[in-house]
Structure 1
Amino acid sequence: MGSAPRTLEFFYDVLSPYSWLSFEILCRYKNIWNVHLQLRPSLIAGIMKDSGSLSAMRFLTAMKSEHPEMLEKASRELWMRVWSRDEDITEPQSILAAAEKAGMSIEQARRILEKTSTPQVKNQLKETTEAACKYGAFGLPITVAHVDGQTHMLFGSDRMELLAYLLGEKWMGPVPPVVESRL
């Protein structure tokens, strides 16, 4: 393992099942590879011009500002709703249900949901999406690795072996033994 933490920016949209694959793998490897993982909710529609996850992504953007410690769990729960249980993630009640299942109080979730229509949240999501585009995104997910003063953009959920190589780390498959023992 490297000695100093390196930074990975992970741009994602919960409407993308491929983003979910990368998300789970990066969450499993962040401590193994000693990397600082920055979750960057983005709007795939801003990149691909057509999706239905605007409200969910605004919610995650507001959550990142208000309760960043809940972002990983809430993102995972939204993916579970839409891709595992075929449940809605566009209606306010659906988003509140996902936040509550992720461990957030309904009062906290309502406060965050109220902020999703504010210019601040709308602008933050737009800025994050534009940042992904500046890195060269043409879809999601992208992972941006900042290693030894260089920036590397990787597109897709099937680039983890290449990411490990860039970090000088070992790729042990999607469920590394360290995580497997905790499952």
Structure 2
Amino acid sequence: MGPVPRTLELFYDVLSPYSWLGFEILCRYQNIWNINLQLRPSFLGGIMKDSGNKAPALIPRKAQYMANDIKVLRQHVQVPIQFPKDFFSVILEKGSLSAMRFLTAVNLEHPEVLENVSRELWMRVWSRDEDITQPQSILAAAEKAGMSAEQAQGLLEKSSTSKVKNQLKETTEAACRYGAFGLPITVAHVDGQTHMVFGSDRMELLAYLLGEKWMGPVPPAVNARL
């Protein structure tokens, strides 16, 4: 019997492109490292407000850097990520609250499909420049991820309940207690200690904390399948 897997919590919001990159990297490593990856849908807007932080897009030089950064990371991480045409409308006006409530409902009722549904929502907003705020958009993502129309509709209805709203709030507050000032954050529980790692570009450090081997954002076992 081998060592007990270490728990990793990934707090993310599909509005965050860097959350997508971190998500894909950890999903690739979840069967390579000795870890138990727990996905934690959170609300980025609540974390930004709680921490007093500002979105990089609101600072011109950061926004320019981010646009170039995403282009390079698209190739480096091998994720089909690109900026929405009307970036400010998508990020600052429409937001992701409905989508994150839906993912919270998925996590409560059908956690086995949370990874796939999350990925489809990212694909919509950060690859195909499609909506993630309207009910039909969320249902389309869920069905493409493998859920039946009946299942998806049921979860959409549950996403407006107090139970789901409170769960999303609690998960977001948990991220804040860990010290989040943006997303993604990965929280590693190792040998009785808790380590919070911010962003998608600190995975080599995360590997060090876990005592695991870092083989780049696309490890050889995954690269062979792409």
- The TM-score with structure 2 as length reference comes to 0.79
Structure 1, residues 145-166: CA drift from partner, whole Å, max 9, x if none? 0011100000111110000000
Tell me what 1:150 maps to. 193
Give the residue type in structure 1 aligned to 2:102. F
Instruction: Name the SS for the 1:107 alignment partner.
Output: helix
RMSD: 1.1
Residue 84 (str. 1) matches residue 127 (str. 2)? yes
Tell me what 1:48 maps to. 48
Tell me what 1:181 maps to. 224
Tell me what 2:165 maps to. 122
Counterpart-to-counterpart distance in 2, 1:4 and 1:180: 27
Counterpart-to-counterpart distance in 2, 1:150 and 1:48: 26
Counterpart-to-counterpart distance in 2, 1:28 and 1:143: 15
Q: How is 1:7-156 mapped onto 2 (pairs within 5 angstroms)?
A: 7-49=7-49, 52-156=95-199
Give the drift of 1:3. Answer: 2.5
- Aligned to 2:212, which of 166, 169, 182? 169
Counterpart-to-counterpart distance in 2, 1:175 and 1:150: 28
Give the residue type in structure 2 aligned to 1:14. V
Give the drift of 1:181. Answer: 1.8
Instruction: Name the SS for the 2:214 alignment partner.
Output: coil
Tell me what 2:3 maps to. 3
Counterpart-to-counterpart distance in 2, 1:151 and 1:124: 22
Give the drift of 1:182. Answer: 2.4
The structure richer in helix per residue is: 2
Instruction: Name the SS for the 1:8 alignment partner.
Output: strand
Aligned residues: 182
Counterpart-to-counterpart distance in 2, 1:47 and 1:174: 26
Counterpart-to-counterpart distance in 2, 1:107 and 1:113: 10
Structure 1, residues 110-148: CA drift from partner, whole Å, max 9, x if none? 000000110000000000000000000000000000011
Unaligned runs of 5+ in 2: 50-91
- The TM-score with structure 1 as length reference comes to 0.97
Unaligned runs of 5+ in 1: none
Give the drift of 1:179. Answer: 1.3
